[in-house]
Amino acid sequence: MTQDRTQAQEAILLVGGKGTRLRPLTVNTPKPMVPAAGVPFLTHQLARARAAGVEHIVLATSYLAEVFEPHFGDGSSMGLHLEYVTEEEPLGTGGAIRNVASRLRSGSDDPVLIFNGDILTGLDIRGLVTTHARSGADVSLHLTRVEDPRAFGLVPTDEHGRVTAFLEKPQTPEEIVTDQINAGAYVFRRSVIDSIPAGRPVSVERETFPDLLATGAHLQGMVDSTYWLDLGTPHAFVRGSADLVLGRAPSPAVPGRCGDRLVLPTATVAADAKLTGGTVVGAGAVIGAGARVSGSTILDGAVVAAGAVVTDSLVGARARVGERTVLSHAVIGDDAVIGADNELRDGVRVWCEATLPAGSIRFSSDQ
């Protein structure tokens, strides 16, 4: 298939590896399938790629792969052709890309999009492909700026945007040479994918990119300061879900109009309960009288009882938050039961199925 090179028709979505479960929250759910704004997170990435003209997407998976296909099928309901490839052992990011090469239909010079599966972003996907075509690069990378780049791949560029180095997870202060990081979306010339060694683990960040740079390949960076969030933690997940509902993170897959709240059809919300800040109430969930829920995700079947105050928190599927309990920056695992009159704050995480009796924990004084 040879195509207009300012338009990518194919993409690879990386949804495997070791850390793909949102532990200990949703014990059997890989992160890409945890609902964000009411639909499995992956739906947003698929829909955004489709909106940018992509027609064929290969999901490279290695873990709990069997949950993707029953949900998304062949992709035709989204106007996509989806394929699934499962690694027996995780092959790393580069190995996963190489492992699906035989499924691509692009010609050797054509652009192929590659996305990390845990990123929520407003990236101008077509813009990245256009930049790639204009610069004639071998690989083009979406870059974003962050305050603390240590958890990411650092990508310094020259005055033309050409990448000069790739430093994954820098360990020493001397290595922190830029605040530009790899935002986890690339365009690869198809032939570069075929040149990754097959049949063994390869890290695109630690091996492929440094090797390409060492051999004089052209890696082009595109700094795009649009909305960008790595959903690596449950708190980031809650933030991302709220931003989808609020319309700050653009996605054609949000089910319903953007606004202060998203209440899925079978949820029950008391007339005087207050839902704000991009709160999502999942299917079958119940919000009691006078409860106030802000910037939070209440997963399917959960109960937030009367008078509870929930802020910037995640309440797992079928979990129960008791009367007058206060949650702030808390993560409550699936099926956990928090009794009445508790106060949980500041990043606390309650394990799935745990039970906290009424009046057990508080942070504020007794007065």
Based on the shown chain and the rule CB under 6 A, indicate whether residue 168 belongs to the binding site for ligand GDD. yes
Q: Which residues 238-297 are close enough to bind ligand GDD by CB under 6 A?
A: none
| Binding flags for ligand GDD, 91-130, as an x/- string (CB under 6 A) | xxx--x-------------------xxxx-----------
| Binding flags for Mg ion, 177-216, as an x/- string (CB under 5 A) | ----------------------------------------
Active site residue 18: no
SS3 131: helix
Distance CA 61, CA 68 (A): 9
Pick the closer one to ligand GDD by CB: 8 or 58. 58
Residue 221: which of ligand GDD, Mg ion, none does it interact with, CB under 5 to 8 A by kind? Answer: none
Pick the closer one to Mg ion by CB: 183 or 196. 183
Distance CA 203, CA 166 (A): 12
Distance CA 181, CA 199 (A): 28
Based on the shown chain and the rule CB under 6 A, indicate whether residue 182 belongs to the binding site for ligand GDD. yes
What does the longest C-alpha to C-alpha distance in the chain come to? 72
Closest CA to 27 of 355, 351, 358: 351
Ordered alpha helix ranges (H), 35-123: 41-51, 68-72, 92-99
Distance CA 228, CA 120 (A): 6
Based on the shown chain and the rule CB under 6 A, indicate whether residue 224 belongs to the binding site for ligand GDD. no
Based on the shown chain and the rule CB under 6 A, indicate whether residue 25 belongs to the binding site for ligand GDD. no
Based on the shown chain and the rule CB under 6 A, indicate whether residue 20 belongs to the binding site for ligand GDD. yes
CB of 58 to ligand GDD, least distance (A): 10
Peptide bond before residue 111 is cis, with ω within 30 degrees of 0:
no
Based on the shown chain and the rule CB under 5 A, indicate whether residue 118 belongs to the binding site for Mg ion. yes
DSSP letter assigned to residue 200: S
CB of 324 to ligand GDD, least distance (A): 38
Based on the shown chain and the rule CB under 6 A, indicate whether residue 87 belongs to the binding site for ligand GDD. yes
CB of 9 to ligand GDD, least distance (A): 21
CB of 67 to Mg ion, least distance (A): 19
Distance CA 307, CA 294 (A): 13
Residues contacting ligand GDD: total by CB under 6 A: 28
| Binding flags for Mg ion, 217-246, as an x/- string (CB under 5 A) | ---------------x--------------
What are the backbone angles phi and psi of residue 248, rounded to the nearest 5°?
-75, -35
Burial class (CB in 10 A: 0-12, 13-18, 19+), 89: exposed
Residue at shortest CB range from Mg ion: 118
Distance CA 186, CA 11 (A): 10
DSSP letter assigned to residue 169: S
Pick the closer one to Mg ion by CB: 106 or 144. 144
**341: its two tokens:** 């009159």
H helix or E strand, kind and range, residue 69: helix 68-72
Select from 57-65, 106-114, 244-252, 346-354 the region that touches ligand GDD (CB under 6 A).
57-65
| Contact yes or no for 246/261 (Cβ under 8 A) | no
Beta carbons within 8 Å of 346's beta carbon, 6+ residues apart: 328, 329, 363
Which residues of this chain interact with Mg ion, rule CB under 5 A? 118, 232
Which residues of this chain interact with ligand GDD, rule CB under 6 A? 14-17, 19-20, 60-62, 87, 90-93, 96, 116-119, 152-153, 168, 181-182, 184, 205, 230, 232
